[in-house]
Chains A and B, each alone.
Chain A
């Protein structure tokens, strides 16, 4: 489930509030808040759409998994999904490398 909005990276653009399919976030006067964490379906799409790599979705779907943002910044996790699917300028070549056609029919 969604665990972290990194206040140092977040620019309050509210894209996450818009794109979350289960309406987990609420807008505020400042950065958004995780208002309904238990509604999170762990689809990672808020993370993917965040242009600042400020969000972190823990992979645990059924229970919260409190995550320390300071420790998280030491890892490569923030923004890792966005980079992997080619949704950053540096990694855009990855958009067209789907190799599923080699895996089907196994």
Chain B
């Protein structure tokens, strides 16, 4: 079934490249990108979706299982769902946005049922819709995206945006990794749905998430918000990639000698685990899970058990070493700043959805799990796709626009010094992984890290253009570097502890800082403060 007949048009292009003409280009094929593509196509737009990997397996959701902030439209339940996390998020959420995300997620979750998603049915016969199995969900979303008439480019990372003479975003170019050529999509609007940045930490499914969309957006002048909320770490077996923090709610954490780590817990005690890991190895055993819970865990999340079954460990009775892997802005709440209800960014023609966008509006400064992020991906994807399609429609015929490439770092020959992506990625990791720098922040340590990161930026932006084989890795490492600088500059701009942002030198929450930190810039990184919506309303009423 094709829901509309309008497809993006392939146009003649020079050898070694393909070119498409579209209304909307969606960059990224995870939940947010596929919802955006489906939504834009449903409004008659000709859509291309370009994914860095394979739309259907790419991103943090496809490999995992995720809770969904799906709440029945009962006013008391909705009120409780909104109130429930406000304190944890440092009261930076926005009630109006929470309500509209709950509405949209409820609709989208029900659409998944209509499309055939196999939701479980509980003992009372009720379909339970607050959890999604990643592989199943994203296989279905790929199918729906194709059925909507969207042209999918797999293994086609975008490398830079295109802009018109007025600075409006007008498409992107990238490479087709398996075809060894280039792609260009001329589009009237672009949705960035490239996810957050997890700095290649191998937290489950996240190594495609290197902040590429942030870098491209910053190059056309887009702004970020809440980038200080970027120090989420997830528990995994020390040797493995599977991060299912929920299940560690049934764990006891211990030191090498077997004694219990005081205060350590998956929820509300993860910092005790981080502090213990600074001293030496930490072990977990899921010994609080009774037989029923064990059975439910196995049924719900088979991949959680792969690392154990394949190494002969019984996680319920035996201790195994754990670590905390950085999830950065994948589970943080910072990202591209949203300026209106259609998820437009501050740049004309550019929209943002999912983890690429800030989730401050529904999460404030904290996410503890996929639930809110999954709801945000569906909702913001749906809105961004709609917004981009409407914008494209209003633009009218745009084929004659003169377009320029916006890419900077790794594209310019500057110094006859080679760009070294692997070394740069490692240098960034050295500044963002350590718990003493990122988990537990302090101005003096952040200053030191920023001095090194700023120097690395000066170095990278002065290096030569990366060659064809290195270009993707060069852009990824540059994106990680840029992300780390917005993170730490924003962290320095928030002289308090709030949400997941912890400052050893300012351990308390400060009521006067109930505001958002905006950031941006590449050569010069800047920050500014924006009032929270409540404060704006109060001001307007005065």
Same assembly: yes
Q: By the criterion CB–CB under 8 Å, are B306 and A59 in contact?
A: yes
In the complex, A100 has a CB within 8 A of chain B: yes
Q: By the criterion CB–CB under 8 Å, are A45 and B120 in contact?
A: no
Given A45-B135, A59-B307, A100-B300, are A23 and B155 neighbors across the interface (CB < 8 Å)? yes
- A residues near B302, Cβ cutoff 8 Å: 81, 84-85
Q: By the criterion CB–CB under 8 Å, are B303 and A60 in contact?
A: no
Which residues of A68-94 have CB atoms within 8 Å of chain B's CB atoms?
77, 80-81, 84-85, 87, 94
Q: By the criterion CB–CB under 8 Å, are B130 and A104 in contact?
A: yes
Kindly report which residue of chain B lies nearest to residue A39, judged by CB atoms.
Answer: B207
Looking at the assembled complex, report how far the CB atom of A50 sits from the nearest CB atom of chain B, in whole angstroms.
12
Q: By the criterion CB–CB under 8 Å, are B130 and A41 in contact?
A: no
Which residues of A90-106 have CB atoms within 8 Å of chain B's CB atoms?
94-104, 106
Question: When the two chains form the complex, which single residue of B120, B154, B206 contacts A101, counting CB atoms closer than 8 Å?
Answer: B120
- A residues near B295, Cβ cutoff 8 Å: 99
Q: By the criterion CB–CB under 8 Å, are B135 and A85 in contact?
A: yes
Interface size of B in residues (CB-CB distance below 8 Å): 59
Kindly report which residue of chain B lies nearest to residue A60, judged by CB atoms.
Answer: B239
Q: By the criterion CB–CB under 8 Å, are B202 and A95 in contact?
A: no
Looking at the assembled complex, report how far the CB atom of B63 sits from the nearest CB atom of chain A, in whole angstroms.
4
Q: By the criterion CB–CB under 8 Å, are A43 and B310 in contact?
A: no
A-contact 0/1 string along B203-219, CB 8 Å cutoff = 01111100000000000
Q: By the criterion CB–CB under 8 Å, are A97 and B299 in contact?
A: yes
- A residues near B242, Cβ cutoff 8 Å: 59
Looking at B7-15, B50-58, B338-346, B403-411, the stretch in contact with chain A turns out to be: B50-58
A26 to B173, CA, bound (A): 24
Q: By the criterion CB–CB under 8 Å, are B67 and A100 in contact?
A: yes
- A residues near B534, Cβ cutoff 8 Å: none
Q: By the criterion CB–CB under 8 Å, are A44 and B303 in contact?
A: yes
Looking at the assembled complex, report how far the CB atom of B40 sits from the nearest CB atom of chain A, in whole angstroms.
23
Q: By the criterion CB–CB under 8 Å, are A61 and B202 in contact?
A: yes
Q: By the criterion CB–CB under 8 Å, are A18 and B54 in contact?
A: yes
Kindly report which residue of chain A lies nearest to residue B157, judged by CB atoms.
Answer: A23
**Overall SS of chain B's interface:** loop
Kindly report which residue of chain A lies nearest to residue B122, judged by CB atoms.
Answer: A101
Looking at the assembled complex, report how far the CB atom of B301 sits from the nearest CB atom of chain A, in whole angstroms.
7
Kindly report which residue of chain A lies nearest to residue B206, judged by CB atoms.
Answer: A41
Q: By the criterion CB–CB under 8 Å, are B57 and A62 in contact?
A: no
Question: When the two chains form the complex, which single residue of B56, B133, B293, B310 contacts A98, counting CB atoms closer than 8 Å?
Answer: B133
Looking at the assembled complex, report how far the CB atom of A1 sits from the nearest CB atom of chain B, in whole angstroms.
9
- B residues near A98, Cβ cutoff 8 Å: 65, 119-120, 128, 131, 133, 299-300
Looking at the assembled complex, report how far the CB atom of B498 sits from the nearest CB atom of chain A, in whole angstroms.
24
Q: By the criterion CB–CB under 8 Å, are B297 and A103 in contact?
A: yes
A99 to B297, CA, bound (A): 7
Kindly report which residue of chain B lies nearest to residue A21, judged by CB atoms.
Answer: B53
Q: By the criterion CB–CB under 8 Å, are B241 and A81 in contact?
A: no
Which residues of B324-379 have CB atoms within 8 Å of chain A's CB atoms?
371
Q: By the criterion CB–CB under 8 Å, are A100 and B131 in contact?
A: yes
Looking at the assembled complex, report how far the CB atom of A19 sits from the nearest CB atom of chain B, in whole angstroms.
5
B-contact 0/1 string along A26-62, CB 8 Å cutoff = 0000000000000101111100110000000111111
Question: When the two chains form the complex, which single residue of B155, B206, B296, B309 contacts A99, counting CB atoms closer than 8 Å?
Answer: B296
Q: By the criterion CB–CB under 8 Å, are A62 and B202 in contact?
A: yes
In the complex, B536 has a CB within 8 A of chain A: no
Q: By the criterion CB–CB under 8 Å, are B57 and A43 in contact?
A: yes
Question: When the two chains form the complex, which single residue of A45, A60, A96, A106 contacts B63, counting CB atoms closer than 8 Å?
Answer: A45
Question: When the two chains form the complex, which single residue of A21, A41, A45, A99 contacts B202, counting CB atoms closer than 8 Å?
Answer: A41
Looking at the assembled complex, report how far the CB atom of B296 sits from the nearest CB atom of chain A, in whole angstroms.
4
Q: By the criterion CB–CB under 8 Å, are B63 and A100 in contact?
A: no
A21 to B209, CA, bound (A): 11
Q: By the criterion CB–CB under 8 Å, are B246 and A106 in contact?
A: yes
Given A17-B178, A19-B56, A101-B122, are A85 and B205 neighbors across the interface (CB < 8 Å)? no
In the complex, B118 has a CB within 8 A of chain A: yes
- A residues near B311, Cβ cutoff 8 Å: 59
In the complex, B250 has a CB within 8 A of chain A: yes
Looking at the assembled complex, report how far the CB atom of B486 sits from the nearest CB atom of chain A, in whole angstroms.
24
In the complex, B315 has a CB within 8 A of chain A: no
Looking at the assembled complex, report how far the CB atom of A29 sits from the nearest CB atom of chain B, in whole angstroms.
16
Looking at the assembled complex, report how far the CB atom of B112 sits from the nearest CB atom of chain A, in whole angstroms.
13
Q: Considering the complex of A and B, which 6 residue pairs feature the smallest CB-CB distances, nearest first?
A: A21-B53, A84-B302, A100-B131, A59-B307, A43-B63, A41-B207
Chain A interface residues toward B at CB < 8 A:
17-23, 39, 41-45, 48-49, 57-62, 77, 80-81, 84-85, 87, 94-104, 106
